[in-house]
Structure 1
């Protein structure tokens, strides 16, 4: 974990640069030969980034909002809960969940790569993998969040969690006010991918 004043983590990360280059080269070749359409590829990626992918994580967060015992278990041992629920997939061998609460805000980054809980959040967004986000989030997290549209109170404690190939993190955003009595399915609609990374709050229920 990092605070507002920098970081010194030296853990090993996966190297995503070579696979990414190969994937991009393959996409270019398929498009060039008329086998694939770049707009359809981009639309599919967008769907998995924002809609289909994050649904599993959103459902988990919504259940934790209404079930205090589940929330406690998630914070204590997320691996056990995820296994019990039958969630399987890439990059969740070990997952830790960090809860936002009044006066405390968590955000996730991977400083040397793009380690990310794919099975819970779907595809990582491009900005999460960018060198600028990875470098600046640990040095000036408040400024980065502000640029992304999230302004925190000056006295809010920032906790920056650096993902690695051994541990991925997911943020449990605060439950929005005015959602008392909402069913889990409706609550899950308020949970966005960005809120589970920590660069945004859960959606405003007034807009639903």
Structure 2
């Protein structure tokens, strides 16, 4: 896998985490236990530190980069959706950052928030826990209800299981010329997104 020391700092990946062979880790990067780092993810710790804490998921094509002033921190159980960009920001525990969202320098996302796809969180913006955040620039739409937070945590669990499944079952192979006649679809266990209109506590 592309893993590079930078000025003497060597990336660290806990042995219970899955790091795809096409992911790239450079310099001061620390990946905690039970994490999933997907293909084409780039974690570049040449300015500040990249810290991905336990049971977090950084999906395909994500870019994580720090700054001279602020490390890039991904909280426990957070899910960073495909092609999201995190730059010198702090993502709280059990946060979902949606597909293609961008979170810029010195921004902070509180625990249990949901950042919608394609959202732009500007530098220095801060959001309290349990917020539904969307827009360009980002704004708080409302607070998430208990049922929605539970759904979020279930999604995190699916990616935690994927880390274990990938460690055990992902192997290089040559493609088949045709599909097998009895080929089954791999559906996983993820539930569809169903956001309500308000809080249900």
Question: Does TM, scored on the shorter chain, surpass 0.5?
Answer: no
Tell which has more relative contact order, 1 or 2 (C-alpha 8 A, sep 6+): 1
Whichever structure has more strand as a proportion of its residues is: 2
Whichever structure has more helix as a proportion of its residues is: 1
